[in-house]
Amino acid sequence: MRKKVLVLGGNFGGLTAALAVKHELEGDVDVTVVSKDDQFLFNPSLIWLPFGKRDRGDLTFPIAPTFESHGVDFEHVAATGIDADGKQVTLADGRTLDYDYLVIATGYRNNDDVVPGYRENAVTITTLSDAEHAGTAWQRYLEDPGDIVIAATQGAGCFGAAYEFLFNTSYQLRKAGLHKDVRLSYVTSEPFLGHFGIGGLPHGEQLLKMFLKKEGITAHLDAGIDHVAEDAIVLADGTELPSAYSMVVPPFLGQEFLLASGLTDDKGYVRVRDTYQTEKYDDVYAVGIAAAVDVPWQTPTPVGIPKTGFPTEQMAHTAAKNIAAQVRGEVPEHEQAFGDIKAICVMDAGNNGVVILADKMLPPRKHGVLIPGPQAHLMKLGFEKYFMWKMRHGYVQLP
């Protein structure tokens, strides 16, 4: 009897895990992907969508043909429950699916309750529909401009996107001839500029300070937000920052349906070992943003950890190798702690940017470097095209 692998989620983690398992076992396994969305979404380019530099069609492709061409079954439906003892997943249409091995790659949702007024009075860019809404608000803003606040709240982890949006906003203000008249502020829970939720990298703080100074941006560090008002962001210390356009990056949470599975922490993230097997079940894995990662430091204002694309793919490959080993009757011994995965990222700044490279996501590190310059912007453009091509064709073995 061929073993059944069930993958929940069809984006960076789910698509990679599903196709990598097929590849590892040379097709001799039944793989099914269940996903709430039937499109792949290249989230890193959401930063450009509000400014009209990209639209929905540029950042997405339908995933059914990709899975079909690799012999993977695809179910476009949300999972609603996991019975890990009974090895069954419940779906929103009432069906249940059995599995021998399960991979949870259901990513994130916004914590909409993080700060009062955030949903009503600010926009965000962390989902496709949110980024589209931020674009409509940007068009309205241009008709009646004023000061702007870009913020990453207490507990947020996706700082790269906040910085990228900040610098892209500055670039757009220049293009619109508004740069001199608009006060642009950055509010962050990071203890210092360039912390990025990964503890910072050598010379990162100086570099980010230089970028902010050049763009005339004021930073509020180690800042909690008390609430978002209609025309201002009010910090925990009472500072009121007037704002005609507020873009706020909230913390992420795991999907709600996972909370009842007994597999998660209180944020809905699945607790995993370095094999990406869950703490409790050898046959249940979690990868990508869905997997819990402990924050290894305490900061005065809490910061989260960014679970970016490269580590997500690495986790998915590690899980796939271990499932393949289990199917072959071997011990699943591939291990890769999140903190030891390389950090590879490009931070875009409109027509400029910074390439971020480090030997490890989390300290202690041996190497870490930030390379600024216009080539970083071109790299991000090229990477978007390459990555969409790679995923659309299911070439998950490529770097």
Ligand X SMILES: Cc1cc2nc3c(=O)[nH]c(=O)nc-3n(C[C@H](O)[C@H](O)[C@H](O)COP(=O)(O)OP(=O)(O)OC[C@H]3O[C@@H](n4cnc5c(N)ncnc54)[C@H](O)[C@@H]3O)c2cc1C
Binding footprint of ligand X on the chain (CB under 6 A): 8-14, 34-37, 43-44, 46-47, 78-79, 105-108, 125-126, 158, 160-161, 255, 257, 288-290, 307-310, 312, 345
How big is the CA angle at 365 (ends 382 and 250), to the nearest 5 degrees?
Answer: 60
Is 181 a catalytic site residue?
Answer: no
- 3 state DSSP class of 56: helix
Alpha helices in 53-96 (DSSP H): 56-59, 64-69
Shortest spacing between CB 180 and ligand X, in angstroms: 28
Of the listed 6, 8, 20, 345, which one is catalytic?
345
Distances (CA, A) of 350 to 48, 99, 227, 384: 9, 46, 29, 15
Give the number of other Cβ atoms within 10 Å of residue 173's Cβ. Answer: 21
Is 158 a catalytic site residue?
Answer: yes
> 183, 185, 178, 189: which is closest to 150 by C-alpha?
185
Shortest spacing between CB 240 and ligand X, in angstroms: 27
Distances (CA, A) of 289 to 108, 270, 307, 364: 6, 9, 6, 22
Shortest spacing between CB 34 and ligand X, in angstroms: 5
Buried b vs exposed e over 21-47: b needs ≥16 C-beta within 10 Å? bbbbbeeebbbbbbbebebbbbbbbbb
Shortest spacing between CB 312 and ligand X, in angstroms: 4
Contact in structure between 263 and 255 (CB atoms under 8 Å): no
Of the listed 8, 158, 187, 391, which one is catalytic?
158
Residues ≥6 apart with Cβ < 8 Å to 55: 49
Shortest spacing between CB 274 and ligand X, in angstroms: 17
Q: Which is nearer to ligand X, 11 or 322 (CB)?
A: 11
Catalytic residues, which ones?
158, 345
